[in-house]
Structure 1
Amino acid sequence: MQNYKNHTRYYPLHHFVITPLTLGYLIWSLVNLVEAWDLKFPKVEFQIVIGAAILFVLPILVRIYALKNQDRIIRLEMRHRYYELTGESFYPKEKRLRMSQIIALRFASDGELVSLVDKAIAGGMRSKEIKQEILNWQEDRKRV
């Protein structure tokens, strides 16, 4: 059962393999560039550093793009859920919430969502506080 204490998710291939390997390769190529530096400019080593930097940035960019897309989907999901529960548009409430608050609110069950939205707006609650207030956690195991 997913809850506040265990909802954080790591993607092992990204977090523990690809990113550390590309960071290691970047550091290794920088060390090689420094060691090769003498009176003339080491072109090959410099090209390797540029390639390593590109390789390091790519998985990070891919992750950022996926998270941005997920944020858009969460916003749409919340608009739909709020409308289904209240018959009213979520737009006026949405404008008063930060994206981190909307993301936190998505874990609330239908029975507590509307009251938590109002409480989050009135109290300026942080996402962590919103998540801690949730009594009936709505699981989401398909997050990026």
Structure 2
Amino acid sequence: MNQNYENHRKFDPLYHVGIAVLGLIMLILSIVFFFQQIASQWLLSMILLGFGLLFLFVTVKLRGYALQLQDRIIRNEENFRYYRLTGNIIDSKLSLKQVIALRFADDQEYVELVERAIQENLSPDDIKKAVRNWRADHHRV
């Protein structure tokens, strides 16, 4: 499938529907159980609520770590790509999100789009919309 601005966001059904929804349901049920059973089974109520919160926190943190690592890798790849094309390092005025958005531009328009992003302070979304020849990224988690 060709990737473009309209379909470039990644949706992982196992994570976004399976794990996230199941985790949310589990947390809600553990909260309900906690308030229903706190008087008679306070220890079990606390343990179940603790596991529900733990599952939620672990899920969110692990997803965050994966995205943070990918952002660092993309930043390094784009810095190297700009250096390869121009012999210069990429301008530090660009935010991480702008650099990440630039990854979709092919080499022929990349340098021009980098300069335009700096001069016009384009938002990441505006950068993606300005890409004429989309370079797909199917490996984003």
Q: Same fold (TM over 0.5)?
A: yes
Determine the structure 2 residue equivalent to 1:37. Answer: 38
Aligned ranges for residues 80-91 of structure 1 at < 5 Å? Answer: 80-90=80-90
RMSD: 1.2
Q: For 1:64, give the aligned amino acid.
A: G
The question of whether the paired residues in 2 share the 8 Å contact of 1:100 and 1:127 is answered with yes
Q: For 2:14, give the aligned amino acid.
A: L
Determine the structure 1 residue equivalent to 2:7. Answer: 6
Q: Structure 1: how far apart are the matches of 2:57 and 2:21?
A: 12
TM-score, normalised via structure 1 length:
0.93
Q: Give ranges in structure 1 of 5+ residues lacking alignment.
A: none
Q: Structure 1: how far apart are the matches of 2:125 and 2:110?
A: 15
TM-score, normalised via structure 2 length:
0.95
Q: Structure 2: how far apart are the matches of 1:88 and 1:42?
A: 63
**Alignment size in residue pairs:** 140
> Offset at 1:41?
7.3
> Offset at 1:99?
1.1
Q: For 1:8, give the aligned amino acid.
A: R
Q: For 1:7, give the aligned amino acid.
A: H
> Offset at 1:37?
3.1
Q: Structure 2: how far apart are the matches of 1:37 and 1:69?
A: 41
Q: For 1:77, give the aligned amino acid.
A: E
Q: Is the counterpart of residue 108 in structure 1 residue 105 in structure 2?
A: yes
Q: For 2:15, give the aligned amino acid.
A: H
Determine the structure 1 residue equivalent to 2:16. Answer: 15
SS at match of 2:104: coil
Q: Give ranges in structure 2 of 5+ residues lacking alignment.
A: none
Q: Percent identity?
A: 39
